[in-house]
Amino acid sequence: MDRWLHRSLCPAILPNRFHENDEPRQFIMKQTTTFWLMLVLTALLPVTTLAQDNEENTSEEEPGPRFTDYVEMTPAFVTHVGPPTERPSYLKTDISLRVGTETARAAIETHMPRLRHELVMLFGEQSDLDVLASPIGQKDLREQALERINQVMEEQRTGETVVDVLFTTFVVQRS
């Protein structure tokens, strides 16, 4: 029994009768080597696949702007919000614009009155205070503000765009 178990675990050890003819021994040695080689290659396959996936993901990602600057829109915006039939409610917000080029600051400062006007009009259009006070409503408002700002920048043919609109304060006061 021990002899059988030992031979089954290590097939390279064969009974003495095969020493005269080494063909079976060489065959088993080749099979064992092939088995171990396949086992190692199979174990390395997920590692190489993962490395290739990481390389593909990094090459497909678009790099962000290499230059980042923040332009504050001062003073703070304070405007009426909500339905016109109810008592007035107010929105107070401070805004910073994130830009990706060095020349964008000058273009924004040149067109600041028009940009502020567009944002005051946008804020005044907000009628649902519950939505406006929610994180989802603020995100939607931020996206609308970004769209309007970039629309003005395009209309003025500045060749610049704003990367992001950041609310540094956001307060809705209900009356």
Beta-strand pair 69-81/162-173: unpaired
Rg value, the chain, Cα: 35
Q: Are 97 and 165 in contact (CB under 8 A)?
A: yes
pLDDT at 175 over 70: yes
Task: Determine the pLDDT at residue 26.
Answer: 74
Strand segments (E) across the chain: 69-81, 89-99, 162-173
Helix (H) or strand (E) holding 134: none
The pair of structure tokens assigned to 150 is 């970039």
Q: Give the least confident one: 52-61, 124-133, 150-159.
A: 52-61
- Residues 15-48 pLDDT 10s: 555 555 567 777 777 778 877 777 776 776 666 5
- pLDDT tens string 72-117: 999 999 999 988 888 889 999 999 999 999 899 999 999 999 999 9
**Assigned token pair, 115:** 């940009």
Q: Domains, the chain, ranges and CATH?
A: 69-173 (3.30.479)
Match 């107010």 to its residue by tokens.
Answer: 90
Q: What distance in Å separates the CA atoms of residue 15 and residue 3, rounded to the nearest whole number?
A: 10
How many Cβ atoms sit within 10 Å of the Cβ of residue 116? 15
Residues 118, 148: Cα–Cα separation, whole Å? 7
